[in-house]
A and B are shown apart, each in its own frame.
Chain A
Amino acid sequence: MSLSKKDIEHIAKLAKLKFTDEEMAKMEPQLNSVLEYMDKLSELDTDNVEPLSHPVENINVFRDDILKDSISTEDALRNAPKRDENYFKVPKVISND
């Protein structure tokens, strides 16, 4: 499997990243070398191996349904580039959702 320039543009867009042509040219072989390594791993016979979702064997890490103090609205909004009263203000999102 190898990535085309178009694939990389697509991934960049999904990640909301913008690259110059120069960066793009660098990106292509770099990402492909990672994928080549993955291909190498794929050569291993894993037919009888359960897929691993987590590297540690912990299960069932829970908390009880108990309220804890929230932070203040002021603190919550402290990092916001823009606010409108007690709301985060963001550029209008295009979709109607």
Chain B
Amino acid sequence: MNNKYEAVIGLEVHAQLLTESKIFCGCSTKFGNPPNSNVCPVCLGHPGVLPVLNKKVVEFAALMGMATNCEIKEKSIFARKNYFYPDSPKGWQTSQFEEPICENGHLDITLSDGTEKCLGITRIHMEEDAGKSIHDLGYDTCVDLNRCGVPLIEIVSEPDMRSPEDAYLYLTKIKQIITYLGICDGNMEEGSLRCDANISIRLKGETELGTKTEVKNMNSFRNVEKAIAHEIERQIEIVEEGGRIIQQTLLWDADHEEVSPMRSKEEAHDYRYFPEPDLMPVVVSEEWKAEIAKNLPELPEARKARFISEYKIPEYDAAVLTTERPLADYYEKVISVTDDYKSASNWVMTDVLKIIKEDKVDITEFKVSPENLGKLINLINNNTISGKIAKSVFPEMLKEDKDPETIVKDKNLVQITDTSAIDGIVDTILDNNPGQVEQYLGGKETVLGFFVGQVMKESRGKANPQMVNETLKKKLEEKRTGE
């Protein structure tokens, strides 16, 4: 990026709330049902119907506000945002405008160079989702209204971000918080989390904002970063060539990595908001707020700090383990079985996460239960099996979540810690390899590794490696002194 300029970025994030029913009616919010099956006169916008607000939507919105340091307004009201579009059958979207439920929040991000940045949140409001239009089937547009009325919160940031990285980290943080709160599944690909970016550029040191564009249709975290970087470059290029930025909405095309203007309707931005007469004001009393706050879980930052202080694991480990709440829960279940916190962290960060990424499974559906992983770690620590054997037991556990003790017994993998048994194997190996014994006695001590390998092979990996090492050294030294 041309360093004469700085970018000014604000994000509008929509999160679908994980309620059972829609925001104003009892229809299901379930994704993937046959078209127009989760609908009723209320969400179809039939005349004369009365919407009734889902209480959980208010609680979820307030929770998000609390988790992002917002003021939870005592009174908030709904408003009609008027526009005609077939996916919104009423002719307006029920949203909040002048009096949203949350205002003036912020959250902190940590940049890759370690600096912390505080990003403002202007407001969080409640609203309904629109239906889905399918355009690419010939001449007409097909409309499915199942999604119409699914509850959303919109989280509007201050224009505090200055780089694509800022935006990426902010969005990642939002996802982390909503999933910790359990109010949204945070899936951008499926559209349960959506993000639009307002972007402008200006000369460094300038305090006035430049003309902004709005970029939509970025359906993954990486795409958000890419699209914003692309748009900043595009604007700089225009200005450098003496042109002017036109205020417009742009659609990101992820396949071609470019933006194209959305063919906008002339009067699209004249929404004529007014208070929704069918919905009464929402008043969140101090008592109710306290009640809602009881559902506030330990948030990622706090949990990370606790992992470091309570389990004495490195900051890096704590950060990885707390990225998602189910993963942190999994880790804590492992260490309810074993008190080897660092080994547990290693197993979760490497063996568990590797398979989760490869097989694209959810940690909550991971085959190996945290209890059994804890038991496996204990089997290593009490010398029942070696670490190496453990790595071969783990795939067995993945096949079916079997108790590792049973697997070790059934497969006869218990480590040989019996001195006489190890003595016997060591003697055989030394007897069978007189040449290597000569080499060792001649001063080539690296041959020890060869002997260890042979003994381990003979014992099918079951001999305790430390004991094998010691016995080998002892017996070879005995040979040197000619006993």
Contacts and interface: CB of A to CB of B under 8 A. Distances in A.
Nearest to B264: A95
Nearest to B26: A68
A13 to B, nearest CB: 6
A77 B53 contact: no
B141 A90 contact: yes
B361 interface: no
Interface in B261-320: 262-268, 270, 272, 275, 277, 279-283
B165 interface: no
Contact of B34 (A10, A73, A77, A93): A73
Nearest to B86: A90
Interface in A56-97: 56, 58-71, 73, 76-77, 82, 84-97
Contacts of B77: 53-54
B37 interface: yes
A10 to B, nearest CB: 7
A14 B270 contact: yes
A68 B149 CA distance: 14
A95 B27 contact: no
B40 interface: yes
A54 B133 CA distance: 34
Given A68-B27, A84-B140, A59 B281 contact: yes
A13 B58 CA distance: 35
Nearest to A61: B280
Interface string B167-188: 0000000000000000000000
Interface stretch (B6-14, B17-25, B323-331, B471-479): B17-25
Contact of A10 (B84, B267, B277, B281): B267
A16 interface: yes
A43 to B, nearest CB: 22
B20 A66 contact: yes
Contacts of A67: 20-21, 26-28
A74 B350 CA distance: 52
Given A82-B140, A95-B265, A88 B26 contact: no
Interface residues of B, number: 59
A94 B140 CA distance: 11
Interface in A11-28: 13-14, 16
B54 A63 contact: yes
Interface residues of A, number: 39
A89 B134 CA distance: 10
Given A76-B36, A77-B36, A90-B141, A65 B262 contact: no
B277 A54 contact: yes
A6 to B, nearest CB: 13
Given A60-B282, A60-B283, A62-B52, A90 B84 contact: no
Contacts of A70: 27-28, 37-40
Given A59-B283, A70-B27, A14 B144 contact: no
Nearest to A96: B262
A68 to B, nearest CB: 3
A56 B86 contact: no
Given A63-B55, A76-B44, A87 B275 contact: no
A60 B264 CA distance: 37
B53 to A, nearest CB: 5
Contact of A54 (B21, B34, B280): B280
B380 interface: no
Given A63-B26, A93-B85, 4 more contacts: A54-B280, A59-B75, A68-B27, A89-B143
21 contacts: A59-B280, A60-B283, A62-B58, A63-B52, A63-B55, A67-B21, A67-B28, A68-B40, A70-B38, A70-B40, A71-B41, A76-B44, A86-B37, A87-B36, A87-B134, A88-B36, A88-B143, A91-B140, A93-B86, A93-B133, A97-B262
Top 3 A-B pairs ranked by shortest CB distance?
Answer: A68-B26, A87-B142, A62-B55
